[in-house]
Amino acid sequence: MATVTLLETNGLSRRFGGLKAVDGVDFRLDRGEIRAVIGPNGAGKTTFVSLVAGRVPPSEGSIRFEGEDVTRLPAHARVRRGIAYTFQITSIFGNLSVFDNVALAVQSALAKEAGFGARLDEAEIRGRTMTALDLTGLAARADQPAGTLAYGHQRLVEVAMGLGLAPKLLILDEPTQGLSDPEIADFIGLVRTIAETATVMLIEHNMAVVMDLATRITVLDRGRILAEGTPAEIRADARVQHAYLGT
């Protein structure tokens, strides 16, 4: 089956004063991939995905999603087009229940589908919300205030919120941080399930997770792409071994 490009950047750069956090990145992501973006601290990973999601404007370059130029679109407009980004720092509503956090995302997705002013079906909101909670293992915690969850479970609420948006591209930023080993194993299964209907891009420092999950890996170093390839190719790349893997 022919590959279809979902996301493409050309010459994408972002400067913060004299620092070039992202420096002329040409990047292509195909529909259906699980792509890991890795690199040492300060490599520009979070800035890069923030540019893709519209949370940070580029200094130079362009971003195309499903063939359309989205370079100047704000984050909320990119969400409507199908780009969902779970933040590196949890951004849940701590005083609301787990269910209500995810239901807000579901309502947003349904409103996009139905059109402005359309009446939303409460049963569909509940059904989609519970599906996202079931997938992330949070159904039993649906009524719990989200702010009382352990950090790792708050991250899973974010993932459930991302799923509630029915994304075409789900960007996960350090998703396994704070999870126990059994929870990480469950998370790997979750991402594989998500990838049946959405493309996944994740920033992740846990190399066992990266090597297990990713179909391809992009390595950033000092804001530039150092290497790209399959897990086996990246593991064998001498430049990556020197810059990041420490071998």
In this predicted structure, what is the pLDDT of residue 55? 92
pTM of the predicted model, to two decimals? Answer: 0.89
Assign 116 a pLDDT band (cuts: 50, 70, 90).
low
Strand runs (DSSP E) across the chain, as ranges?
Answer: 5-16, 19-30, 34-38, 60-65, 68-69, 83-86, 169-173, 199-203, 216-221, 224-229
Asked if the model's pLDDT at residue 189 lies above 80, the reply is: yes
In this predicted structure, what is the pLDDT of residue 18? 87
How is the chain split into domains, by residue range? Answer: 1-82+167-247, 91-166
Mean pLDDT of 37-55: 94
Assign 109 a pLDDT band (cuts: 50, 70, 90).
confident
In this predicted structure, what is the pLDDT of residue 175? 87
Residue 205 phi/psi, 5° resolution? -90, -20
Assign 99 a pLDDT band (cuts: 50, 70, 90).
very high
User: 134-146, pLDDT tens digit by residue?
Assistant: 999 999 999 999 9
Neighbours of 26 (CB within 10 A): 12
Asked if the model's pLDDT at residue 158 lies above 60, the reply is: yes
Mean pLDDT of 97-119: 81
**Exposed/middle/buried for 101, CB within 10 Å: 0-12, 13-18, 19+?**
buried
Assign 246 a pLDDT band (cuts: 50, 70, 90).
low
Asked if the model's pLDDT at residue 92 lies above 90, the reply is: no
Q: Over the chain, what is the mean pLDDT?
A: 90
Ranked by mean pLDDT, which of 54-58, 76-80, 86-90 comes out on top? 54-58
Taking the C-alpha atoms of residue 62 and residue 55, their distance in angstroms, rounded to an integer, is 15
In this predicted structure, what is the pLDDT of residue 86? 83
In this predicted structure, what is the pLDDT of residue 221? 93
Mean pLDDT of 79-99: 84
Assign 44 a pLDDT band (cuts: 50, 70, 90).
very high
> Which pair of tokens denotes residue 236?
């064998």
Q: Which CATH architecture has domain 1-82+167-247?
A: 3-Layer(aba) Sandwich (3.40)
**Exposure string over 53-71, b if 16+ CB within 10 A, otherwise e:** bbebebeebebbbbeeebb
In this predicted structure, what is the pLDDT of residue 245? 59
Mean pLDDT of 140-168: 92
Taking the C-alpha atoms of residue 71 and residue 93, their distance in angstroms, rounded to an integer, is 29
